[in-house]
């Protein structure tokens, strides 16, 4: 039964499942309003593990990255269990670092598969959406790490466990990535401001690169048909 479900994720639809997992992880932060106090931590960690698993299943076709990402995911689970058993909140910075590296590796693997390679198809378009979600997610984790080390980095974000700030950090990240900027959460320190404007720059360049890549792939496809 499990084998059949795994086989459903193939190289023609893998980015669809990965994108759904990322969206689910981001939405899971809103469960804070409906779950009993203290449960949001376990809910987010559960969704994170599920996202890791889906990412690994979706990227198992890229052997060069699969083992590396699998190792990171395994270490993250061990760190999570250690934090629960030992009650050491200091382990959170290790967990955040592992998450950042894992999603960066996922980003690079997807980018290798969709940008400037082959003809355009639906799976690649969905993959470009996954890349955008990963960008926002990675910067959200970076903001959480910055807040952990420098508690006064942001106005509107209070220092605390990562699961309590994940929703607001993700919100601020995507608002910055799209250069929308509502202003309810603001970077205060010089380093936080650098993080914010670098994300805004990357967001603009990402759109330009992806659009040019998809147009180039589409043009090559039509040119091949004409010939």
Calculate ∠ Cα 23-188-182, nearest 5°.
Answer: 50
pTM of the model: 0.87
Higher pLDDT, 156 or 212: 156
Average pLDDT over the chain, rounded to an integer: 84
Is 224's pLDDT higher than 60? Answer: no
Task: Round to whole Å and give the CA distance between 157 and 147.
Answer: 8
Note the pLDDT tens digit of each residue in 26-43: 988 877 667 776 788 888
Q: Return the higher-pLDDT residue of 173 and 35.
A: 173
* Mean pLDDT across 137-162: 92
Q: Look at residue 2 and tell me whether its pLDDT is greater than 60.
A: no
């Amino acid at each position: 039964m499990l084998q059949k479900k795994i086989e459903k994720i193939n190289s023609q639809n893998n980015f669809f499942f990965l994108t759904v997992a990322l969206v689910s992880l981001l939405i899971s932060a809103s469960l804070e309003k409906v779950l009993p106090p203290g449960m949001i931590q376990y809910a987010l960690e559960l969704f994170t593990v599920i996202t890791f698993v889906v990412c690994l299943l979706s990227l198992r076709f890229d052997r060069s990255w699969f083992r590396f990402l699998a190792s990171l995911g395994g270490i993250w689970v061990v760190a999570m269990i250690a934090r629960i058993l030992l009650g050491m909140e200091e382990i959170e910075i290790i967990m955040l670092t592992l998450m950042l590296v894992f999603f960066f590796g996922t980003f690079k693997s997807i980018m290798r598969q969709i940008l400037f390679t082959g003809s355009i198809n639906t799976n690649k378009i969905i993959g470009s959406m996954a890349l955008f979600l990963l960008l926002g997610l990675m910067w959200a984790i970076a903001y959480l790490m910055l807040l952990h080390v420098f508690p006064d980095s942001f106005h509107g974000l209070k220092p605390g466990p990562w699961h309590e700030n994940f929703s607001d950090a993700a919100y601020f990240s995507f608002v910055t990535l799209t250069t929308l900027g509502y202003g309810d959460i603001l970077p205060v320190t010089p380093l936080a401001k650098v993080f914010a404007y670098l994300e805004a720059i990357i967001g603009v360049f990402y759109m330009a690169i992806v659009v040019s890549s998809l147009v180039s792939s589409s043009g090559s496809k039509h040119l091949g048909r004409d010939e």
